[in-house]
Structure 1
Amino acid sequence: MALFSQKNAQEQLDAETAKVNRADLETLLERQRAIEEKVKGSGKLKRFSADIKLMFSMLRDYWNGSYRDIPWKSIAAVAGALIYVMNPLDFIPDLIIGFGFLDDAGVVALCLKLVESDLHKYAAWKEIKEGAGQSAQAD
């Protein structure tokens, strides 16, 4: 039997997503640096570093109102996954060496699978926005 299955990941993500409210977004954005440091220091989560940065960027643009072309369900799923990563005493406590981040990685991977198209759409929007900003500076 697997230590942490996709079914476990789905249950954990669903539980966190259901509890997310708009105030949680502010808390997450305030804790971004700490979460990114935790991810960098974990072998299991490290491979998701770029995705997690993109998730935070999307949450920040959603929070400040510059990007709203995304369903709340996707925002809540991203926030739920990041809240799960932030919690050291989750399904498999982070203190358990070698296994502590296995569940966190499973929840993040599942979240990425669920919101993949929304993240791609956001990344394309961000690229166009940044490209437009650079061309305006060149003028």
Structure 2
Amino acid sequence: MALFKGLSLFQRLKHRSRALGRMGRALQLFVPMLVDVVRGRYRPVPWSAMAWMLLALVYLVSPLDLIPDFLMLIGLVDDVVVVGWLLTKVDRSLDPYRIWKEGEDIEQV
């Protein structure tokens, strides 16, 4: 029984590491995407990615939380979980831009 719990924990940690990777990719790719959209180089505008990012920013600065921040550690974990979930949504919304960007980088070489 303990082996299955350990395996389950390992699988959960592996899943979390993928989520962290998606969050990092979203943050690295969002600003270049925004620049390409403003300059008119990338169309169609990925409105869903912008909406998810806006929600993440609003949640971070909003005084309203699922768990209040005055509950020190738990309140901060709540922010990390919600914003992390929103950033994974941003990353998924940026998949078409990522494909376009990779094709553009190949053309420039």
With the shorter chain as reference, the TM-score category is 0.5 to 0.7
Unmatched segments (≥5 aa) in structure 1:
1-45
Partners of 1:95 and 1:113 lie apart in 2 by: 27
Q: 1:64 to 1:90 in 2, by over 3 A?
A: farther
Partners of 2:29 and 2:72 lie apart in 1 by: 28
Q: 1:82 to 1:122 in 2, by over 3 A?
A: farther
User: What is the TM-score with the length of structure 1 in the denominator?
Assistant: 0.46
Pick the aligned partner of 1:131 from 103, 106, 109.
106
Pick the aligned partner of 1:93 from 63, 69, 94.
69
Mapped contact 1:88–1:95 kept (Cα < 8 A): no
Mapped contact 1:74–1:115 kept (Cα < 8 A): yes
User: What is the TM-score with the length of structure 2 in the denominator?
Assistant: 0.55
Look up the match of 1:76.
51
Q: 1:102 to 1:70 in 2, by over 3 A?
A: same
Look up the match of 1:14.
none
Residue 130 of structure 1 aligns with an amino acid whose one-letter code is D
Shift of 1:120: 0.8
Partners of 2:48 and 2:82 lie apart in 1 by: 19
Look up the match of 1:28.
none
Q: 1:96 to 1:124 in 2, by over 3 A?
A: same
| Larger helix proportion of the pair | 2
Q: 1:88 to 1:68 in 2, by over 3 A?
A: same
CA RMSD, Structure 1 to Structure 2 (Å): 3.3
Pick the aligned partner of 1:63 from 38, 56, 60.
38
Residue 96 of structure 1 aligns with an amino acid whose one-letter code is M
Q: Percent identity?
A: 26
Shift of 1:130: 1.5
Shift of 1:76: 2.5
Shift of 1:100: 1.1
Secondary structure of the residue that 1:99 maps to in structure 2?
A: helix
Larger Rg: 2
